[in-house]
Chain A
Amino acid sequence: MTTTVSQAKPRPDRKSGRKPKGRKPKELSYNPKRPVWKERPSPLYQTIKTLVLVLFSASIIVPILLVVSTSLADKDQLAKAGGFVLWPERPTLEAYETIFNGPMVLNSLGVSAFVTIVGTVLALFVTITMAYATSRPVLFGRPVVLAVLFTLLFAPGLIPSFLMIKQLGLLDSLWSLILPGIFGAFNFVVMRSFFMNIPQELIESARIDGASDWTILWRIVLPLSKAVVAVVGLFYAVGFWNSFFNALLYINDHSKWPIQLLLRNFVVQGSGAADGLGISSVPPSQSIQMAVVVVALVPILMVYPFLQKHFTKGVLTGAVKG
C-alpha cells in the first residue's frame, strides 16, 4: 500500500503549464499536471503526506475488512487466530445462516426496509412540494422559508418531541420512526436552491400555455431535477436506515426494532445471542456479532457508489453557494 502510493505520486510533468485549479469555482476540476510554478515537494514533506493519507485510509478500511472477514471465517481459523481474521481462508456463510434462522434479524431488517422506503418516498414528496412552492415569488413564500430556516437554529427539545409523539398516539408504531424524519431543513435548502436556478422563462412560458403549477412541477421542473432528487432521496434513505435514537425513544416492542437498535443491543451492549437474536449460537459468537454488523453495513456500501457520484454537487449547492 505504502509503496504504490509513494511511487505513483511524484509524477512531475513540466511539459504543460496548465493550472490544476478549475476556472469555474463550482466544479472541482482536476488536472493531473503539476503547474510550472509549483516546486517539487521535499522528500520529507512527501513522506509525511503519504503517511497521513495511508494511515487515514487504513484506519477506515482495516476495521471494515476485519469485520467482514471475521463474519465469513470458519471456526477452525477463528480459533487459531484467537478471535479475528483479516482474510477468511475457507469462507463460510454459517454465521449468516444462523442469524437468518432466528426471527429477530430478518424481522428488524424488514422494519428498517419499510421505514426507509416509505420514509424516503414521503420525505421526497414533502420536500419537493415545499421547495418548489417557495422557490418562486409566491404569496407567503418568504415567511414559510424563514419558518423552515428557523429550525436550523433552534431545536424544540427531546422531551416536548417525545410528548408530541405520545400525544399523537404513535408510541410503539413504525410511524414514529417515519414521520419525524420526513422533512429536513438542509435537504430543503439544497432542493430549493436547485429549483431557483431553473430559468423563470421556462416556467412562465409553460404558464402562458396554460399549465397549472402541479403540471409545471411534474412535467417540467422534476425532469430537470433528477440529479438533485436522487441526492436528496439518498440522503433521506441513509438517514432513515441509520436512525437509531428515535427507535430507542419510541419503540418498546422488540418485534418492531429496526436493525440499528438490534445492533446496539446485541453488539454494542453485548446481550447474549439467545435473548438478543432469538437463536441458540452454534458458530462462534464472534462471527455472529460480525455478521450482524455486516448486515447493517451492506446496504450502505451498496448505495455508496451512487451517493458518491452525486453528493458533492448536492452538498455544495446547499453549503457554499452564496
Chain B
Amino acid sequence: MNQTTEAAPALPAAGNVPAHAEGRPSPGKGKPAKASAPRTPAGKQGFRSRLRRDKQMLLMMVPGIVFLLLFFYIPILGNVIAFQDYQPYLGIGDSLWVGWQNFVDLFDNPDFLQAFWNTLYLAAWQLVFLFPVPLVLALIVDSLISVRIRRVFQSIAYLPHFLSWVLVIALFQQMLGGAGFINNSLRQFGLDPIPFMTNPETFPVLVVAQMIWKDAGWAMIIFLAALASIDASLYEAAAADGAGRWRRLWHITLPGLRSVIVLLLILRIGDILSVGFEQFILQRDAVGAGAAEVLDTFTYYTGVVGGGWSSGAAAGLAKGVVSALLIFAANKLAHRFGEDGIFAKKVG
C-alpha cells in the first residue's frame, strides 16, 4: 500500500525529468545541479548521492526522531525495570534482576486481579453499549432531509468531544452529583436523592453514559462519511424492486458500512484494556477502588503514588503487550473476512 502510493507519483517524474537532471544545470538558471536531482525510487541512485540529495529532508526528520526516541523508544526499553527490583537511588543499571518474579507477584495480588477483572468487565460494557450508539445516530442523521437540522445537530453533537475529561466529569457532577441539579430537584420535591455518581454497582452505566455523551457524536463522523459514499443508485434500484426501509438497511447500508465497522472494531479492541484512563482516575475516589480500579489506574497508584515502580511497570507492560497482541489478532481476523483491517488503511 505504502509502497505503491509513494512510488506512483515519483515514476512519471523520473521519466520526464532526466534531461535536466543528469548533472546538467537547467538552462537559463545557474543553480547547482545537485539540487535538481529527481527523487527516483530506490535503487536507481547510489546511497551516497541519495544521502547528499536528501540531506535537508533528513535534517527535517531530526526533531521528530529525537521526540520518538526520547518519549517513545527509550521509555519502551525502560520497561526492563519490570524484570528488576527497581530502586530509584540505584537506577536501572544497578537494580537487582528478579526475572518474572514481579509478574508472578502480580497474579497473586488480589488488587491487581480486581483491576484486571474490572477492566474486562467495563470493556465488555463499552463494546456492547457504546459501539452501536454512533452508528444509530449516524443512520438517523443521514436520513434527515433538512440540511439545517442536520447541521445544527452535528454542531451540538461534536462539541463535547473537545471538552476535557475533567470538565466532563465536573459537568456530570453538577448535574447528577449528590448536590447536583437532579438530586437538588428531587430533594425539593421531597424525594430521596439518587447516588448516580458514587454507587459502585451502577458505575459501568455511568461510565458508558459519560462516554456516549462525550464521544458518540464525534464517532458519527466516520459513519456519516461512509454512508455518503454508498452509491445512491443501489437504493433506487432496490426501492424499485420493492425493498422497504429495513430491507435496504440490511442489504445495502450495513454491507456498505462493513469495512468501516470492522476497522473501528479493531481499533476498539486494541484499545480495550485502556478503557478510559482519565475518566477513571477522576472518579476512583468517589466510587471506590473496588469498582473503578482498572489496569491503568492500578499502574499509577502502585507505581507513581505507592513507589512500587517495578510492579507498576510490570502491570503496564503486561497491559501493553496484551493490547498489541489483541490488535494483531483482530487484524488477522479482519483479513480472514476479506477486509483490509488497519495496517493497510492507516499507512495512508
Q: For the complex, is B173 an interface residue (Cβ under 8 Å from A)? A: yes
- The prevalent SS among residues of A at the interface is helix
Q: For the complex, is A204 an interface residue (Cβ under 8 Å from B)? A: yes
Q: Which residue of A lies closest to B348 (CB)?
A: A193
Interface string of B23-55 (1 = CB under 8 A from A): 000100101100111111110000100110110
A261 to chain B, nearest CB (A): 8
Q: Given A125, A137, A245, which contacts B281 in the complex, CB threshold below 8 Å? A: A245
Q: Are A268 and B173 in contact (CB under 8 A)?
A: yes
Q: For the complex, is B226 an interface residue (Cβ under 8 Å from A)? A: yes
Segment among B108-116, B118-126, B145-153 that sits at the interface with chain A: B145-153
Q: For the complex, is B345 an interface residue (Cβ under 8 Å from A)? A: yes
Residues of chain A at the chain B interface (Cβ within 8 Å): 5, 8-12, 19-22, 25, 27-35, 37-39, 41, 49, 52-53, 56-57, 59-64, 66-67, 70, 82-84, 125-127, 129-130, 132-134, 136-142, 144-145, 147-149, 151-164, 168, 179-180, 182-183, 188-189, 192-193, 196, 199-201, 204, 207-214, 217, 238, 241-245, 248-249, 260-261, 263-264, 267-269, 289-290, 293, 296-297, 300-301, 304, 307-308, 311-312, 315-322
Q: Are B78 and A164 in contact (CB under 8 A)?
A: yes
Q: Which residues of B contact A38 (CB under 8 A)?
A: 235, 239
Q: Which residues of A contact B74 (CB under 8 A)?
A: 164
Number of B interface residues in the complex (CB < 8 A):
138
Q: Given A144, A149, A267, A317, which contacts B61 in the complex, CB threshold below 8 Å? A: A144
Closest 10 CB pairs of A and B: A210-B31, A25-B229, A130-B64, A160-B78, A242-B164, A157-B316, A156-B75, A37-B239, A200-B9, A19-B232
Q: Which residue of A lies closest to B164 (CB)?
A: A242
The answer to whether residues A293 and B171 also contact, given A32-B147, A60-B157, A129-B61 and a CB cut-off of 8 A, is: yes
Q: Given B173, B179, B228, which contacts A25 in the complex, CB threshold below 8 Å? A: B228
Q: Are B71 and A164 in contact (CB under 8 A)?
A: yes
Q: Which residues of A contact B345 (CB under 8 A)?
A: 322
Q: Which residues of A contact B61 (CB under 8 A)?
A: 129-130, 133-134, 140, 144
A88 to chain B, nearest CB (A): 15
A135 to chain B, nearest CB (A): 8
* Docked CA distance A132–B59 (Å): 11
* Docked CA distance A305–B225 (Å): 20
* Docked CA distance A157–B304 (Å): 12
* Docked CA distance A180–B20 (Å): 44
Q: Which residue of A lies closest to B260 (CB)?
A: A320
* Docked CA distance A60–B154 (Å): 12
Q: Which residue of B lies closest to A244 (CB)?
A: B166
* Docked CA distance A201–B42 (Å): 19
Q: Are A157 and B299 in contact (CB under 8 A)?
A: yes
* Docked CA distance A76–B162 (Å): 34
Q: Which residues of B contact A27 (CB under 8 A)?
A: 228
The answer to whether residues A268 and B348 also contact, given A153-B324, A204-B38, A211-B35 and a CB cut-off of 8 A, is: no
Q: Are A304 and B296 in contact (CB under 8 A)?
A: no
Question: Which B residues from 225 to 279 make CB contacts under 8 A with A?
Answer: 225-233, 235-236, 239-240, 244-245, 260, 270, 277-278
Residues of chain B at the chain A interface (Cβ within 8 Å): 2-3, 5-7, 9-10, 12-13, 16-17, 20-21, 26, 29, 31-32, 35-42, 47, 50-51, 53-54, 56-58, 60-61, 63-65, 67-68, 70-79, 81, 136-137, 140-141, 143-150, 152-153, 155-160, 162-167, 169-175, 179, 181, 184, 187-188, 213, 216-217, 221-222, 224-233, 235-236, 239-240, 244-245, 260, 270, 277-278, 281-282, 285, 296, 299-300, 303-304, 309, 312-313, 316-317, 319-320, 323-324, 327, 340, 344-348
Q: Which residues of B contact A207 (CB under 8 A)?
A: 35-38
Q: Given A57, A129, A151, A312, which contacts B156 in the complex, CB threshold below 8 Å? A: A57
Q: Are B26 and A208 in contact (CB under 8 A)?
A: yes
* Docked CA distance A127–B217 (Å): 27
Q: Are A320 and B167 in contact (CB under 8 A)?
A: no
A128 to chain B, nearest CB (A): 9
Q: Which residue of A lies closest to B274 (CB)?
A: A155
Having A200-B9, A204-B16, A207-B38, one finds 17 other A-B pairs with CB under 8 Å, namely A19-B232, A21-B229, A39-B239, A60-B156, A139-B50, A145-B347, A157-B316, A158-B316, A164-B74, A164-B78, A168-B70, A179-B70, A200-B10, A208-B17, A238-B162, A242-B166, A244-B278
Q: Which residues of A contact B304 (CB under 8 A)?
A: 158-159, 162, 249
* Docked CA distance A280–B65 (Å): 49
A241 to chain B, nearest CB (A): 7
* Docked CA distance A161–B217 (Å): 32
Q: Are B140 and A57 in contact (CB under 8 A)?
A: no
Q: Which residues of B contact A193 (CB under 8 A)?
A: 348
